[in-house]
Chain A
Amino acid sequence: NAGVTQTPKFQVLKTGQSMTLQCAQDMNHEYMSWYRQDPGMGLRLIHYSVGAGITDQGEVPNGYNVSRSTTEDFPLRLLSAAPSQTSVYFCASSYSPQYLYGYTFGSGTRLTVV
């Protein structure tokens, strides 16, 4: 049972490049989300999904896109990378209702934009 798998673990991008951070879970969780973690700022929600075909914005969605075509996958797309997007990105998933179960987190993707 792999849990929540994120790839890549590390990535360096140049300003203006685009890329997709992958997130996959094998627990049949309905809920998935993306957070970014910055020093002294905790985790901030970027986008989330309560099921296949349903996505919504979180606290800091600008510059990111998501889609949820399957229950298992929830990729995060950076449209045009900026240095302000340098961060550690965590994907999390949960059964619904998620407030009952808490989240299972992936191991993170450390992104540097130069």
Chain B
Amino acid sequence: AQSVSQHNHHVILSEAASLELGCNYSYGGTVNLFWYVQYPGQHLQLLLKYFSGDPLVKGIKGFEAEFIKSKFSFNLRKPSVQWSDTAEYFCAVNPRNYGGSQGNLIFGNGTKLSVKP
């Protein structure tokens, strides 16, 4: 079965620290990749997505992610976090051309980020 792994359950950083959240997926074919953010008490919002082309994708609020096909990874980065980045972050993968479920996103378990002011 296809799966998405987010290895960090909870990350705690101080403001201005750099952030990297790991995401690995298990699927050998073509994929589309997404990062979503869920602020406390809110719904998921799209941060960025990769469809094709430049593997370095820039999203909203200064976030970026790099798709490394050989490593099946799509790690999320931000050079300097702010207290307002405190949220839960979900990596999601769409394994294209995967049977009848084409188009459904498979989500990782999420990484909680706590930023200390």
Residues of A within 8 A of B (CB): 31, 33, 35, 40-45, 48, 50, 56, 58, 90, 92, 94, 96-100, 102-108
> Using Cβ atoms and an 8 Å threshold, which residues of chain A touch B45?
105
Chain B min CB distance to A6 (Å): 9
> Using Cβ atoms and an 8 Å threshold, which residues of chain B touch A40?
9, 109
A-B pairs with beta carbons under 8 A, tally? 59
Are A107 and B104 in contact, CB atoms less than 8 angstroms apart?
A: no
> Using Cβ atoms and an 8 Å threshold, which residues of chain B touch A94?
103
Residues of B within 8 A of A (CB): 4, 9, 32, 34, 36, 42-46, 49, 51, 90, 94, 96, 100-110
- Closest B residue to A30 by CB, please name it: B103
Are B109 and A103 in contact, CB atoms less than 8 angstroms apart?
A: no
A71 to B44, CA, bound (A): 22
A107 to B42, CA, bound (A): 6
- Closest A residue to B48 by CB, please name it: A102
Are A90 and B43 in contact, CB atoms less than 8 angstroms apart?
A: yes
Chain A min CB distance to B47 (Å): 10
**Assuming A31-B103, A99-B103, A100-B51, is B108 touching A42 (CB within 8 A)?**
yes
**Assuming A99-B94, A102-B34, A105-B44, is B110 touching A42 (CB within 8 A)?**
yes
A102 to B102, CA, bound (A): 13
Given contacts A42-B109, A98-B105, A99-B103, 4 further A-B contacts (CB under 8 A): A45-B104, A97-B103, A99-B96, A103-B44
> Using Cβ atoms and an 8 Å threshold, which residues of chain B touch A35?
107
Q: Which of A43, A45, A96, A107 contacts B90 (CB 8 A)?
A: A43
Are A98 and B9 in contact, CB atoms less than 8 angstroms apart?
A: no
